Amino acid sequence: MNWKQLLVPYRTGSKGPEIQKHRSTFEQDFDRIIFSHPFRKLQDKTQVFPLPEEDFVHTRLTHSLEVSSVGRSLGRLAGQEILSNQPELSESGLSSQDFGVIVAAASLAHDIGNPPFGHSGEGAISEYFKSAGGMFFQSHVSQVEWSDLTNFEGNAQGFRLLNAKSLRLTYPVLGAFTKYPRKSSLKVSTARRSQKKFGIYESEIEVFKNVARQFDLNSLGKESWCRHPLAFLVEAADDICYHIIDLEDGCTLGLIDEETTAALLIEIVGKDFDKEKYNQIPTRRERIGMLRAMAINKLVSQATEVFLDNEKGILEGSFDKALIDLCESSKILEQIIDISIKKLYHSRKVLEIEAAGFEVIGGLIDQFSKALFSVHYGSPTSREKALWRLIPEYHQIQTNDASIYMMLRNCLDYISGMTDSYAISLYRKIHGMIQPGY
């Protein structure tokens, strides 16, 4: 792989690279994601804590914006050094801004495929198809398709959404977005970070093959590839934010005390910490906010350094680790995760939303998938016809010739795309718990 090829602004559906005079193609991608319907719905999707009453606790939307901001810094810093070492790239028209905005756009979209209720929503979808009700569909799909359905993955769902006809993003942004470039049905070594999960459904495998061909991504076997190099920076931006900001949220909610939170962040900040200045800040929120900003800045520098130190291996495909695991502060980040697991992710509020997610998501899939099947392939009841009509037209299959797998994919597009509030409201209505309109 080489940088010139990796950053050519080919757009899906176009015959050649698109060059813009006033706004780069990658900036257009960023704007398209910002204005997209799936992105806007992140404002009412759980990050860690459900529908928080506390103003300063993060949703998926605020988390995504922050990851994008960190990603832009990582991309720009790495780009500056790469262009300095390879001046011929600048001569071809590339700038550090291009590196930054590609990573920012991919980071902005990194959670766009996540369902309601946080990670429990993913589990709820997968578990439904392993349950007695969902097992009904196993005989109607292929083994590969069944693997997709029983292993719902937000990254693969995000890649599916980003390839909607209305977005038509560039290949570099799609490549940077895809942290896990393989199918669900493959059994591969998890020693490679990029193979830890899967990131492509069977329904989009041909799309990603085009991406892989465009960049000449190294193959790791049948329908499994090395990452686009900038995907490492997108992953680092997400890792930095959820480590540091989840800790900050825990302190804001009183689940982790200020002394513990400050001590961890100060260890990352190191010699730049000014105790006298810190003690002069009047409120806990402002004190922790200052430390959070300094810690993120330090981690951005460390992650960029690791990326540049391993640039050759990344381009060759031999390097396949999380940048943050090799940072100077990696041990402190491990401590932060341990504390977050004990005091945040296993807190009562989070466990309650997980339980609710399994009930609501599983219930909605059962109702709508069975209704769709009856309408297209059986004899629907009046209730099933009513449920079918509730599904927006753009989530409907238009012909009985479509596969049952694609019918279920479209059904999951509808349900996984719901906000937390809408999913709860619709679940209550179709189960007669509240009268529509009230």
Position 273 scores a pLDDT of 87
Mapping DSSP to helix (H, G, I), strand (E, B) and coil, where does residue 41 land? helix
Residue tagged 């578990």 (tokens): 127
C-alpha 127: how far from chain center: 20
Position 323 scores a pLDDT of 97
Position 436 scores a pLDDT of 56
C-alpha 163: how far from chain center: 14
Assigned token pair, 193: 């970070």
Geometric angle at alpha carbon 173, from 4 and 9, rounded to 5°: 45
Low-confidence residues of the chain: pLDDT under 50: none
Rounded Cα distance between 220 and 218, Å, is 7
Any residues with CB less than 8 A from the CB of 173 and at least 6 apart, and which? 26, 29, 102, 105, 106, 109
Position 435 scores a pLDDT of 60
Assigned token pair, 43: 């404002």
Which residue type, as a one-letter code, is found at position 192?
R
- Using CA atoms, how far residue 185 sits from 122, 224, 312, in Å, is 17, 11, 30
Rounded Cα distance between 414 and 392, Å, is 8
Please check whether residue 315 is in contact with residue 229, taking contact to mean a CB–CB distance below 8 angstroms. yes
Position 438 scores a pLDDT of 53
- HEC string of 282-306 equals CCHHHHHHHHHHHHHHHHHHHHHHH
Domains identified in the chain and CATH numbers: 3-11+24-116+143-230 (1.10.3210.10), 117-142+347-438 (1.10.3550.10), 232-346 (1.10.3410.10)
Position 401 scores a pLDDT of 61
Q: What is the pTM of this model?
A: 0.91
Q: What are the DSSP calls for 89-151, one per residue? A: HHHTT--HHHHHHHHHHHHHTTTTT--SSTHHHHHHHHHHHHSTTGGGGGGGS-HHHHHHHTS
Rounded Cα distance between 271 and 347, Å, is 33
Position 46 scores a pLDDT of 73
Position 49 scores a pLDDT of 63
Which residue type, as a one-letter code, is found at position 322?
A
For 155, other C-beta atoms within 10 Å of its C-beta total 22
C-alpha 23: how far from chain center: 26
Position 400 scores a pLDDT of 60
Mapping DSSP to helix (H, G, I), strand (E, B) and coil, where does residue 46 land? strand
Mapping DSSP to helix (H, G, I), strand (E, B) and coil, where does residue 220 land? strand
Position 274 scores a pLDDT of 87
Which residue type, as a one-letter code, is found at position 140?
H
